[in-house]
């Protein structure tokens, strides 16, 4: 509601100062800001004429389940964060191995996977052998990587989240979200890692249970808890109220984002188009190879998204590509 109230107030101030309302009103936000933008167009469709949504954390389940599932595989003991099944030497070796196998698949060896879904690298190739400990994957470390790439599954094997794209394992975002810091892992601000910390924040403090222990509940129990926080989700696939008044939605997501999975946004966009194929006329989605979370990564991290959105919202053609 805060975005809605600020928007209404701002429009009133503009009208009072200039004697007329704004001709166009646009929203732009990334990550939680992307969630806020989706909530805005879904619940208050008259507030904005167009919205730029980047890497949206549109669903608590999609955001938090992978952090718990993979995080506790890497840090199995919540009392000892220095005990990791996957460390940064392993992570960097994995990143190099993925690029060595798949970087050339798109015709250009540039440190970027343009189509990570086509990468067939098997992390078992990096399994530790002969007493090796660093720069390889133990059984537990291999399990964590497969969970991250393959998605969260319940006890019956049904997939609850789509997993994360391959590529970018050597980036700092992987360290921040998965392996954590090398020095003082029990004291560092990212200890155990920012991803698992975010899960703890939600499931312990939002739920009023400061003693919540991430190692104990089943993934089904975690999922049930997250459903109680779903009131803030921006996951409605019916965008008709916004679109019927001419609203345009431009969405993008980086393929090496280790904070929120691009595959999760793919899932949402597919559901929007399945609900109404005509949504393709007003909702356009672009994945950005090599882009991290709202910036960074080995790929191009900047595009003039607002100019593209403005041209579209003011009568220009829908964008088919972004340069």
Contact criterion met (CB below 8 Å) for 254 and 293: yes
Closest CA to 250 of 309, 320, 315: 309
**Cβ contact 197:144 at 8 Å:** no
pLDDT band at 133 (very low <50, low <70, confident <90, very high): confident
Say if residue 192 is preceded by a cis peptide, omega within 30 of 0.
Answer: yes
- For 108, other C-beta atoms within 10 Å of its C-beta total 10
CA proximity to 151, closest of 240, 67, 228, 270 = 67
**Spatial contact of 111 and 290, defined as CB atoms under 8 Å apart:** yes
DSSP annotation of 137 reads: B
pLDDT in tens, 141-165: 999 999 999 999 999 999 999 999 9
In this predicted structure, what is the pLDDT of residue 185? 67
* Partners of residue 286 on adjacent β-strands: 252
Question: Would you state the pLDDT for residue 186?
Answer: 65
pLDDT one-digit tens code per residue, 163-181? 999 999 999 999 999 999 8
Q: Determine the 3-state secondary structure of 323 from DSSP.
A: coil
Among residues 297, 57, 301, 267, which one has the least CA distance to residue 167? 297
What is the band of 29 on the pLDDT scale with cuts at 50, 70, 90?
very high
- Extract the tokens encoding 88: 């940064």
Helix/strand/coil for 64: helix
300: pLDDT confidence band, cut at 50, 70 and 90? confident
**Measured distance CA(64)–CA(261) in Å, rounded:** 11
DSSP-assigned states of every residue in 27-65: EEEETHHHHHHHHHHHH-TTS-SEEEEES----HHHHHH
Q: Would the pLDDT of 188 be above 70?
A: no
- pLDDT of 159 reads 96
| Mean pLDDT along residues 253-279 | 98
Structure tokens at 213: 């222990």
pLDDT in tens, 280-294: 999 999 999 999 999
Per-residue pLDDT at 189 exceeds 70: no
DSSP 201: I
Q: Which two tokens stand for residue 164?
A: 């994360």
Task: Round the average pLDDT of the chain to a whole number and report it.
Answer: 94
- Tell me how far apart the alpha carbons of residues 168 and 49 are, in angstroms, rounded to a whole number: 35
């Amino acid at each position: 509601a805060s975005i809605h109230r600020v928007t209404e107030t701002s429009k009133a101030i503009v009208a009072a100062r200039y004697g007329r309302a704004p001709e166009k009103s646009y929203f732009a936000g990334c990550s939680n800001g992307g969630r806020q933008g989706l909530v805005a167009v879904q619940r208050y469709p008259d507030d904005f004429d167009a919205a730029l949504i980047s890497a949206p954390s549109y669903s608590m389940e999609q955001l938090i389940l992978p952090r718990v599932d993979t995080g506790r595989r890497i840090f199995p003991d919540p009392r000892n964060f220095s005990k990791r099944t996957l460390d940064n030497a392993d992570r960097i070796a994995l990143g190099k191995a993925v690029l060595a196998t798949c970087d050339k698949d798109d015709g250009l060896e540039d440190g970027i996977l343009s189509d990570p879904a086509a990468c067939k690298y098997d992390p078992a190739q990096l399994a530790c052998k002969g007493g090796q400990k660093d720069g390889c994957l133990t059984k537990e470390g291999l399990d964590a990587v497969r969970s991250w790439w393959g998605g969260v599954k319940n006890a019956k094997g049904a997939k609850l989240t789509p997993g994360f794209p391959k590529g970018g394992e050597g980036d700092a975002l992987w360290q921040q979200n998965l392996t954590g810091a090398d020095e003082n892992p029990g004291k560092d601000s990212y200890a155990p890692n920012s991803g698992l910390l975010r899960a703890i924040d939600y499931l312990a403090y939002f739920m009023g249970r400061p003693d919540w222990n991430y190692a104990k509940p089943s993934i089904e129990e975690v999922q049930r808890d997250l459903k109680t926080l779903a009131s803030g989700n921006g996951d409605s696939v019916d965008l008709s109220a916004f679109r019927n008044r001419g609203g345009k939605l431009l969405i993008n997501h980086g393929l090496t984002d280790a904070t929120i999975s691009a595959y999760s946004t793919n899932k949402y966009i597919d559901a929007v188009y399945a609900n109404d194929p005509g949504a393709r006329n007003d909702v356009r989605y672009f994945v950005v190879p090599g882009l991290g979370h709202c910036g960074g990564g080995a790929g191009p991290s900047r595009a003039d998204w607002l100019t593209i959105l403005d041209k579209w919202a003011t009568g220009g053609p829908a964008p088919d590509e972004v340069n």
